[in-house]
Structure 1
Amino acid sequence: MRNTLYIYLASLLMNALFLSIRAEDIHPCSGAGFWFPAGKQELSAAIDGYLNEAKKKETAGSPIALISPHAGYKNAAPVMAAAYRQLEGHSYKRVIILAFSHSLSGFGKISLLPVEGYETPLGTVPIDKKMAEELLSHSDVFISAPAIHMREHSDENQIPFLQKTVKDFKMVSLLVDSLNKETMNKAVDILYPYMDKDTLFVASTDLTHYGFAYDYSPFEGLKGKELAAKIHKLDKDALEIMASADADGFREYINRTGATICGRNPVELLLRILKKQGGAKGEILQYYTSADKSGDYAHLTVGYGAVIFTAPAQSEEPKPKNEEEKKMDTEVKPKIEKTDEEPDPPILTETEQQTLLRLSRDYLHEIVKDRKFKPDISKYDLTPSLKQKSRLFVTLTKDGELRGCIGHVEAIAPIYEAVMDNTYSAAFRDPRFPPVEAAEVPRIRIEISINTPQRRLKDINDIIVGKHGLIIEKGWNRGLLLPQVPVEQGWNREQFLEGICRKAGLPRGAWKEKDTILYYYSSQVFHEK
């Protein structure tokens, strides 16, 4: 009887929450006087002050997306202003806020309100009703659950800053729950077409919530500067992954660290949309924690960071190609057009290999002193082969031990650019290691692996240890091992399969399961002597 009553009450709750409810025409402001000032003039003056103190940075293109915190303005507004100040001189007809519910999770979809507008002390922002209706037509992804929007501040706290910077715009606010892979992919496909020159995306999140109050204290026992350094590194690693628009890397970081980043779901959705869009450049604008002034990191600390993503203006004309690039086009394109399968990368000569190793070494030597260093590419003999796009990994070892290994699993950049990108990432972004320091560089050996496209593995007996690398996918878990790894570890074929499972955070025997997908590839590997 009691179980029946519980089921009945739960059913009433779900009906109240998720069935189509007639929402009010204007979504009322609930945070005025708590998260930010309640008076129009007071709020306007406060935001003006924050924006005036923020620095406007020169960017290579037009802002298409921001990641901004949403805590109370007394804590987070300077970081928010660092993001919104970058919108100066740009206009948008629509803003899509990717936020989340603090009050309810586990419904596995994205909720929005088809109301007329959102109210703040600065006025009412109209909703893009057409877009809202289009989204709600995809009922397997989007729903309207008014109850979870009632007192939500992860979206509301962004709106006054938008009113002061973008000014005349329509908006859609989306509360993004944890999505399974299928729903996430559908959401990306649905939202991606809205990413245009007239639309700004804003993902709302604070960073690590550290301390007993948040049930997250992985550095228990550390105090003062040592604890601060650990928390700062945890957050800055997350920000660097976000700025690189690495959605898979961000999910792996959350799974590995357990970091209490409250807006991880909207951030992941934004990163996946940016990846599909391609070409966006991310930059970290500002970061600090709530405890940086008080020094009391152990009990209650929240991190706040801002990231901007820019894309080249759509009106920009492509740069004219020189004769060498034109020749390269005629050499490469027929090869691709003649086959349904992506071709293997070029086999590099000894001279070309040495050029890449010298580029990587020179770049590493400089970036440990200045991370913004830009090399003079004209000093290197960049043949047509080195300008072809390829999958590529850079591995750093120190005294024979792994010091960093990062790469591109897709052919997204010319070989020489990928070498620089992954030299930087292996030195500073491998989450397993602290950043490389200048004193270590003489003891580091550089190895470059240029990989063929991955092919679906149909029979494990086709794996040749020492020749093939492996990629595994199972649900959200994904892992990659280079061909040289099983040789270095002394593994046979089965141990190699178990090793790739462990790399992806899966049980050793997961490769045998029906929903596990395996790919293989080969590599051209060369390293410093």
Structure 2
Amino acid sequence: MKLVYILLILFIILSNSPTLLAQTELIEVWEPQAAGRFYPDNETILKDQINSFFKTVPAPALNGRPVAIISPHAGYQYSGQVAAYGYNAIKGIDYSRVIVLSPSHFRNGKRFRGVSILKTKGFKTPLGIIPVDQDACNQLLDNSKNKPANSSRKGIPLFGTYEGAYLGEHSLETQLPFLQMSLNAFQLVPIMVGLLIEDDFDRIADAIRPLIDEKTLLVISSDFTHFGEGYGYTPFKKDIEKNIAAMDYGAFEKIRNKDFEGLKKYRKETGINACGIMPIQLLLKLLPDTVSGEVLKYDTSGHQSHNFSYSVSYASIIFTKPAGTKSGRILPEKEILETRQISLTKEEKSLLLSLARNTLETYAKTGIPPKPNQINSQLTPNLKEKCGVFVTLKKHGRLRGCIGYLLPRAPLFQEVIENTINSSFCDRRFNPIEANEVSDITIEISVLSFPKRIIKPDDFDVGKEGILIRKGHSSAVFLPQVAIEQGWDRAETLSHLCQKAGLLRDTWKGTDMEFYTFTADVFHESPKSRI
């Protein structure tokens, strides 16, 4: 009986859905629908707000080039800080096209089947006009003529234009100012997602996939759990904050693993009401197996307001494919790179360790990094130098996190703050460090020389030098102390490094492998200082 009821409701929805007809007239510019409501409608205020979000985000420690992000779309005062984590990770990357998949909240029309692509030359925000990739949009709209083989729904087009999906809608538009503040020139493919069932996901993904290349970014707009009587979703009455997080992270696990069927089953079992669930499911159909997902930041409006009678969850999730840094390269295109090592005093090392300890304790308790101006008076010229640095965390002598920068990005003291946070909360090999285990953590800092290119692996002085290998988009690095701690010789070190890069163990023996070595000044907290 329950199944009959569900089918009846589905029939009513589909039979009342507007038709996705081809738009006859091209709109010159689509005016903002959410400015002044979800984000400031003043250019200066909007820029200042987004920049203030970016300033509190640590530099990302990514394992490859970003290909997609999932970003929230609530009012910026609630979700803007979370969104900044995803957009900060793509800052300055040379994308020429951005495809945005957004859910329609159905405020200005009936629920529709398929996806709607507005035919316009550009989308306007207070920061200017974003040009639309009309060729790509037309290519997708041509799919409205395609019929699915061996299907009883041959006459149902899944691509078209339904202007009502965009009127007053904020889910797509709230992503645009962040994109404008993060990227250089790019063209937009705006896709509003309606109701999708059965093989709709495959048909739409098959049409979008040819548009995805090295210079295309996918942005999926979605909030997660909407808890409260007003949302019609109160699956628990106790430990609400904890249970909401568990609900969301259950979904994140399926999403990170690109598990389309698993997410579909999880939604059925829990009733989780992420508003962008269908765009997310489309994304899972589009992502290749080699891509890995990572949750950069998570928060809830309930946590912000200290009131969980109503709460909406926000997450920034990024998907990367194996590569180097943002540009896809770890090192510049130079055959020989000069080695340069700054010489730190005992007092300078002690200050960096103290700074890392304060960062770990503060961030674990509050989620907010310490302000660098608190130690400005103690900063020496060496600590303001730019150089590579790694922060390694150990718990009872065992690795608990290690992330760093091989190449200089910021003053040394700032890099120590950022990589203490990254090692504590962004190392995907481990769960984030909890406040109750901070006292068990010891901190080790490695200040690196600038890497130099070597011609052959025999030139690598194992145990004294760190090493980076690179082949195409695959790369990996070991600090000098890794080989010593593991008891590896040169061949074993290089074989394990190839494995870390996702290559066969003996790939280092080939002629197309690049090798770079560097030295490191390694210092750590005294065990006695942690008693």
The answer to whether the superposition gives a TM-score over 0.5 is: yes
Offset from partner CA, 1:184-220 (integer Å, 9 cap, x none): 1111111122221100000000010000000000103
Q: Return closer, same or farther for 1:371/1:165 CA change in 2, 3 Å cut-off.
A: closer
Q: Matches of residues 287-366 of structure 1 in structure 2 within 5 Å?
A: 287-297=298-308, 299-313=309-323
For structure 2, the residue ranges without an aligned partner over 5 or more in a row are 1-13, 145-156, 331-397, 402-423, 432-481, 489-501, 504-531
Residue 36 (str. 1) matches residue 39 (str. 2): yes
Q: Return closer, same or farther for 1:21/1:244 CA change in 2, 3 Å cut-off.
A: same
Q: Return closer, same or farther for 1:216/1:164 CA change in 2, 3 Å cut-off.
A: same
1:22 is aligned with what amino acid? E
Aligned-pair CA distance for 1:101: 0.8
- Determine if contact 2:69/2:220 at 8 Å carries over to the other structure: yes
Instruction: Tell me what 1:263 maps to.
Output: 276
Q: Return closer, same or farther for 1:13/1:203 CA change in 2, 3 Å cut-off.
A: closer
Aligned-pair CA distance for 1:141: 2.4
Mapped to 1, the partners of 2:184 and 2:32 lie a distance apart of 18
1:149 is aligned with what amino acid? Y
Q: 2:137 aligns with which of 132, 143, 152?
A: 132
Residue 241 (str. 1) matches residue 254 (str. 2): yes
Aligned-pair CA distance for 1:302: 0.3
Mapped to 1, the partners of 2:285 and 2:127 lie a distance apart of 33
The secondary structure found in structure 2 opposite 1:97 is: strand
Instruction: Tell me what 2:118 maps to.
Output: 113
Residue 175 (str. 1) matches residue 192 (str. 2): yes
Q: Return closer, same or farther for 1:62/1:95 CA change in 2, 3 Å cut-off.
A: same
Mapped to 2, the partners of 1:366 and 1:39 lie a distance apart of 48
Structural RMSD (CA): 3.3
The secondary structure found in structure 1 opposite 2:101 is: strand
Aligned-pair CA distance for 1:78: 0.2
Residue 204 (str. 1) matches residue 217 (str. 2): no
Q: Matches of residues 135-154 of structure 1 in structure 2 within 5 Å?
A: 135-139=140-144, 140-154=157-171
Mapped to 1, the partners of 2:285 and 2:400 lie a distance apart of 28
Aligned-pair CA distance for 1:23: 4.8
The secondary structure found in structure 2 opposite 1:36 is: coil
Structure of greater relative contact order (alpha carbons < 8 Å, 6+ residues apart): 2
Residue 94 (str. 1) matches residue 97 (str. 2): yes
Q: Return closer, same or farther for 1:14/1:188 CA change in 2, 3 Å cut-off.
A: closer
The secondary structure found in structure 1 opposite 2:303 is: coil
Q: 2:72 aligns with which of 69, 72, 77?
A: 69
- Determine if contact 1:105/1:177 at 8 Å carries over to the other structure: no
- Determine if contact 1:240/1:284 at 8 Å carries over to the other structure: no
Q: 2:205 aligns with which of 170, 177, 188?
A: 188
Q: Return closer, same or farther for 1:199/1:105 CA change in 2, 3 Å cut-off.
A: farther
Mapped to 2, the partners of 1:38 and 1:107 lie a distance apart of 30
Q: Return closer, same or farther for 1:218/1:366 CA change in 2, 3 Å cut-off.
A: farther
Q: Return closer, same or farther for 1:242/1:134 CA change in 2, 3 Å cut-off.
A: same
Mapped to 2, the partners of 1:105 and 1:59 lie a distance apart of 41
Mapped to 2, the partners of 1:14 and 1:88 lie a distance apart of 38
Mapped to 2, the partners of 1:177 and 1:107 lie a distance apart of 5
Mapped to 2, the partners of 1:88 and 1:253 lie a distance apart of 33
- Determine if contact 1:155/1:173 at 8 Å carries over to the other structure: yes
Aligned-pair CA distance for 1:373: 4.6
Instruction: Tell me what 1:157 maps to.
Output: 174
Aligned-pair CA distance for 1:86: 0.2
Mapped to 2, the partners of 1:126 and 1:373 lie a distance apart of 41
The TM-score, its normalising length taken from structure 1, stands at 0.56
Q: What number of residue pairs does the alignment pair up? A: 321
- Determine if contact 2:290/2:321 at 8 Å carries over to the other structure: yes
- Determine if contact 2:104/2:169 at 8 Å carries over to the other structure: yes
Mapped to 2, the partners of 1:12 and 1:185 lie a distance apart of 24
Residue 285 (str. 1) matches residue 296 (str. 2): yes
Mapped to 2, the partners of 1:111 and 1:251 lie a distance apart of 23
Offset from partner CA, 1:452-490 (integer Å, 9 cap, x none): xxxxxxxxxxxxxxxxxxxxxxxxxxxxxxxxxxxxxxx
**Bigger mean CA offset, 188-197 vs 76-85:** 188-197
Q: Return closer, same or farther for 1:66/1:59 CA change in 2, 3 Å cut-off.
A: same
Instruction: Tell me what 1:460 maps to.
Output: none
- Determine if contact 1:108/1:177 at 8 Å carries over to the other structure: yes
Instruction: Tell me what 1:217 maps to.
Output: 234
